[in-house]
């Protein structure tokens, strides 16, 4: 099996990896086809036995704290905009239709509020999990700023991992949002939810 060595940190990586598992550097796809035992030079030069092909790596950018906050707000607006018609039907519209029966109208409004909350909770989960596990690898908010969510090897994540990352955000928020603040201080801009899910937000 072909082994690629990152020339930035020297870590071994599988041939399928696009990014270094240790430093996050981009692995050159052109080097993936090289032999694990010799480097094929562009000019006829001797190659020492047992030498290995090393993939060239370039710096990789990560989504920082504030740009991810803005992307989060964009996604929150999108999800709530989708739930807004239901809020109107069960909220003010429902009270208006039940104007002659205030108790029934209040009950309809309370029921509608619960429906909206459920739509937002489940809608946020499904929206994020489907988008992150799709070919886009990002929600609309992240796509606007050129960000993608990958695993630590730079590969597309599964729906299950995207789901775990989404609900791990609740933990990041429950501990006084420290899990989110970690994005600004960790080496690869990972929040607690990224560390738990094994993901990176690349830009």
Length of the chain: 203
Q: Is the pLDDT of residue 132 over 70?
A: yes
CA torsion sign for 24, 27, 32, 49 is: negative
Residues 5 and 13: their CA atoms lie apart, in Å, by: 6
Q: Which pair of tokens denotes residue 69?
A: 């906050």
Q: Are 184 and 53 within 8 A, CB to CB?
A: no
3-state DSSP call for residue 124? helix
The model's pTM: 0.63
Q: What is the pLDDT of residues 16-41, one digit of tens each?
A: 777 777 777 777 655 444 444 434 44
The string of pLDDT tens digits covering residues 36-94 is 443 444 444 444 444 433 333 445 799 999 999 999 999 999 988 887 777 666 655 44
């Amino acid at each position: 099996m072909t082994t690629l060595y990152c020339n930035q940190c020297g870590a071994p990586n599988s041939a399928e990896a696009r990014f270094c598992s240790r430093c996050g550097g981009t692995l050159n796809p052109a080097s993936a086809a090289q032999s694990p035992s010799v480097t094929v030079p562009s000019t006829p030069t001797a190659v020492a036995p047992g030498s290995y092909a090393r993939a060239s790596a370039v710096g990789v950018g990560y989504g920082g704290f504030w740009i991810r906050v803005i992307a989060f707000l964009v996604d929150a607006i999108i999800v709530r905009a989708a739930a807004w018609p239901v809020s109107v039907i069960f909220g003010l519209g429902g009270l208006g239709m039940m104007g002659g029966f205030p108790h029934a109208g209040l009950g309809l409004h309370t029921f509608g509020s619960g429906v909206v909350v459920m739509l937002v909770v489940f809608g946020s989960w499904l929206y994020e999990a489907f988008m992150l596990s799709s070919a886009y690898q990002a929600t609309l908010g992240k796509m606007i700023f050129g960000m993608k969510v990958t695993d630590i090897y730079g590969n597309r994540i599964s729906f299950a991992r995207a789901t775990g990352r989404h609900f791990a955000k609740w933990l990041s928020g429950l501990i006084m949002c420290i899990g989110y603040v970690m994005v600004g201080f960790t080496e690869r801009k990972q929040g607690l939810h990224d560390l738990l899910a094994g993901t990176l937000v690349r830009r």
